[in-house]
Chains A and B, each alone.
Chain A
């Protein structure tokens, strides 16, 4: 009765709200074993309509380009639909930095509308143009242009030729062509260049060539093709909504996925040279991008948004140290040692400085700064021991075993938990007569119809209770020395105590790698995934198989498949 109690539409609603996709909902919702007693939400959104829109199993398309020789045939026709995404604040600032060598991230944060987190900040289905956006783009373009022209060195590097005067059209055209191509990731047509040349009149009036340069920068940085990652492609014969991307569009898709910013000159040159038209060329470019500090940083940020520590809940110095620690572990597992990805949960060492050593009760570091240090507490191992992740689920000034459990289930195992039933106040700390210890209070709270879901969530969270919201060990409840914490928890039917043992259970779970695939896919297609994306996610997941689950290799292989070269346009509905 419990498993069947979750209606498909409820699961859809939950998934939509939580940004949790359909693969998990379809596959594991029954495994969760707790009932939702809420109503079925009406179906107003097309995303919530169950069905296999274009994803009928077994329908492997023969769309041109889907079967590249030597590659796994990817059913391109089963790709889920996407929307043209706008650059997030972070992507906008990173692209401006790449183009102009100036930092406008503070202004982007202040002037551009907030990016919703799904948990990623790049979801096109959460974006909405507005007058505030248009005004903000004008502001950041202004700031960027002024800074880019602030010094002779910056100007010389940017313009690329020495203007003879404010009317030097040849130099101006050269700049427009070069800057336009770098910003819009395609060559500008002769007419487009000519249209910009009219700015020279203003430069002559002001007797300053740079005025016209500044105007081009302003115009390009507000241009739809810069502000959005536009994919028009060319139609395929079989399906009007399925388009094959141009090599220029592929260069941007690749660069925004792996760098979070506009392509560099090398990538554009290689696109121009036709090197992106083969799987090998795509993979080689992807490997180059991932091999740079920007590529590493991008994968680190993917993990940070996914696992809830991109926006730190800690005081700045501590938050920075904790971010450094977790980033280092991601870099080590995914890049430096290229370990099997689940080893994130198994690392016996962590990267700490004096502050974090004290926090975790580790021996003082042998040298200043950060060092890899072996955990001394057997309860600790891997990423779940770190204060960055342990901050998730804080509530009422303390950890919430319920929210921590929910976080583990939903983000790492893609097992959504239904919302509480009607009439439940879930914001007041669980209280019980006599103000008992925390475990008693939670136990008293999770009675009756609440027990099904709460036992699943709370039992996971209580297994982490020996660690506070910063990752510090504790043996008793907050401000309650008489309330000793056992730290005993349970995931499904398996008992555990502490992050090390929980990490082992997660590593052994069949759900964690599919869940990784789902979130990577969601990050890559820049929208919340739905039933139409099942096949696309499966195609990516297929690259994450084997004893050695290499995220890096999976990304490269996936980028080399035909699926990466197409886009299905999401039909517009009112």
Chain B
């Protein structure tokens, strides 16, 4: 038998700790059934907008506590206001621990401070400097779910240049190397990944249910089996340094192999197959000034990813999800998005190419997507309550805004806020919390990490939770 070269969490779990060869695949059939008997899992969700959250006057309620008033940017929360908490008064410092650096190259500089809690060492570098909060959580609560975590991205491309941004999740592989988790930006591929080999308890049409697709699935398994065995053999021939870099690829092959080799039968009553989304929207390009800006009907893509994340949580296909709604320094054509009269680069809208209301509406579009997922989870029964009761969810933006009486300065860590939802771990719901002492956005993430059961009180260079967020 081929002894697996690399230890694998999922393999060990699936095989009861014994190191086995390929026949373990068959033993995996029926995974997921355990979920119904076990304690209801907690879920962690992080959405991120690569835009400013807009001027405070368009988002900050007049009141704190429950039943807060909704301004322009938060209007999409109307139906779920009792579920969503606004945490205002956050601040991302320009210097010191967890800072963005204060340099002239703003946008990507805030990724690592917000998501990893680490100050940005290299002005403008979008690379995560360490493990992101979602992956810290996945390490702790993923269990043997079908997907250790799911990463989606609504905005198809950056449209301006192929910058390194576009990924907000980073983990360490088994060997300890830090590697990014680039998100899936194709709704159809995201759907296929989720529903291949999936038999919902209520039946329904999934790829595995169709005879031709079932035959293909069998062949795919054989092919992937060969790819996997060969990968293992190759990695064995590599020197130690190359091997450590390649192991993540192998791990991902094995993870896919495991999914293809098992038939997931979701147990939750609400777990159901979704229809396959239509072909991914095409990219349209428009002329803005003397260059091109693009749009790929992100407005249509967003709800699809929300639906997929909803069902992934409901069926316990995963317990950790991220959604990068827009790239850092989002350069998307916002004309169709915001129903504007003219072509407009979303980033430049916030710099005076548009009105302050345009920027507020752009943030509102992000809020709408968060509200969509909250609504779906709220309407999904689980145990004696809803799936939302067992979630810890957050929406963060890359920047705050300082009100200068005009469009504001969107390149600042001042006046940042977060939307939080879910009832996991005693999170307060439906409140406006004007947080004391200007917490770092990571303090909110630490609160959510604790809400899903982690003992940690630190993320990167940032420590402590936002006490007011808890009941």
Interface residues, chain A, with chain B CB atoms under 8 Å away:
13, 16-17, 38-39, 41-45, 48, 83-84, 110-111, 113-117, 121, 126, 128-136, 138-139, 192, 195-196, 198-199, 202, 206, 211, 214-215, 218-219, 222-225, 227-228, 230, 232, 241, 243, 311-316, 391, 394, 396-399, 419-429, 468-470, 569-572, 574
Contacts and interface: CB of A to CB of B under 8 A. Distances in A.
A311 B161 contact: yes
A225 B224 contact: no
B239 interface: yes
Interface stretch (B66-74, B226-234, B388-396, B420-428): B226-234
Nearest to A117: B162
Interface stretch (B102-110, B432-440, B446-454): B102-110
A16 B125 contact: yes
B353 interface: yes
Interface of B: 94-95, 101-106, 119, 121-125, 129, 147, 151, 157, 161-164, 166-167, 172, 176-184, 186, 189, 192-193, 215, 218-220, 222-224, 226-227, 229-231, 234-235, 237-242, 244-246, 248-250, 252-253, 255-256, 280, 285, 287-292, 347-348, 351-353, 409, 411
Given A396-B353, A422-B94, A215 B219 contact: yes
A428 B176 CA distance: 42
5 contacts: A115-B162, A130-B179, A130-B252, A398-B289, A572-B245
A469 B102 contact: no
Given A128-B180, A202-B219, 20 more contacts: A38-B123, A39-B95, A114-B162, A116-B163, A128-B179, A130-B179, A131-B256, A133-B249, A135-B256, A199-B226, A219-B226, A223-B231, A241-B239, A396-B351, A421-B104, A422-B94, A422-B95, A423-B102, A426-B105, A572-B245
A373 to B, nearest CB: 23
Contact of B239 (A44, A314, A569): A569
A222 B219 contact: no
A399 B231 CA distance: 49
A contacts with B: majority SS: loop
B161 A135 contact: no
Contacts of A228: 246, 249
A426 B147 CA distance: 41
B219 A574 contact: no
A405 to B, nearest CB: 15
B235 to A, nearest CB: 8
Contacts of B119: 42
B182 A133 contact: yes
A425 B147 CA distance: 41
A38 B103 contact: yes
A424 B105 CA distance: 8
A131 B253 CA distance: 8
Nearest to A468: B290
B234 A230 contact: yes
Contacts of A424: 103-104
A26 to B, nearest CB: 19
A214 B348 CA distance: 49
A315 B184 contact: no
B348 A396 contact: yes
A469 B229 CA distance: 52
Nearest to A116: B164
Nearest to B158: A114
A236 to B, nearest CB: 13
